[in-house]
Amino acid sequence: MPTTKDREKRQSIIDACRSMNALGINQGTSGNISLRHGEGLLITPTSTPYEAMQPEQIVFMGLDGSHDAAQRPSSEWRFHLDILRARPEINAVVHAHPIYSTILAIMGLEIPPIHYMIACAGGDTIRVAPYATFGTQELSEHAVRALEGRLACLLEHHGMIAVGASLSKAMWLAVEVETLARQYHGCLQIGTPRLLPKAEIENVLGRIAGYGPADK
Ligand code: 13P
């Protein structure tokens, strides 16, 4: 029987899904979200329109991947689970197919340090995880590796992942990553953008720690 707190968390996932589409960082039901919960995680159900999604449809999954057999978790549950297992400091995982991030991912282009805000994703680049079929363990392993020391990555021919200590931080970062992707795409129309030096990104990393919405 879900508790009130449980229900609030489930609803916050649904609200975040709806805002992904309203913010223009996702379309249809291609995105999925998970939130650490007790000894496991809460994750969106597969191929369910966000407008119709109900709190009881959000799937509770144990850290061993177990869940109520009557429920159907997101097809991407493997990377949600593996990221939360590998990264104890992370509590929320947002996956979407934003247009500009996905254009770069299709072209196999990582995002270089074109703007200091790249430091919000934890380093001087946003890497591209090599392609693997959606929903596979192989894709999950590529994603966990591309996220090492980072809070976001692109997925080749697929989309983007942003993670955070809270759902509001992960959602905020997802929008920042798509903004960086859009800026980089725009720069490439004009020529080869100049990049910020690694030392400056190190400097920004020190100053920007904790930037973003309060955790809740
Ligand atoms: P869902 O299974 O969460 O609907 O995911 C669709 C998708 O696009 C996966 O990348």
Residue-range domains of the chain with CATH: 4-207 (3.40.225.10)
Q: What is the pLDDT of residue 3?
A: 67
177 CA from centroid of ligand 1 (Å): 19
Arithmetic mean of pLDDT, 70-99: 98
43 within 8 A of 32, measured Cβ to Cβ: yes
| 46 Cβ below 6 A of ligand 1 | yes
97 CA from centroid of ligand 1 (Å): 10
- CA 86 to CA 65: how far, in whole Å? 14
For the chain, the average pLDDT equals 96
pLDDT bucket at 212, cuts 50 / 70 / 90:
confident
Q: What is the pLDDT of residue 46?
A: 97
Over residues 106-153, the pLDDT tens digits come to 999 999 999 999 999 999 999 999 999 999 999 999 999 999 999 999
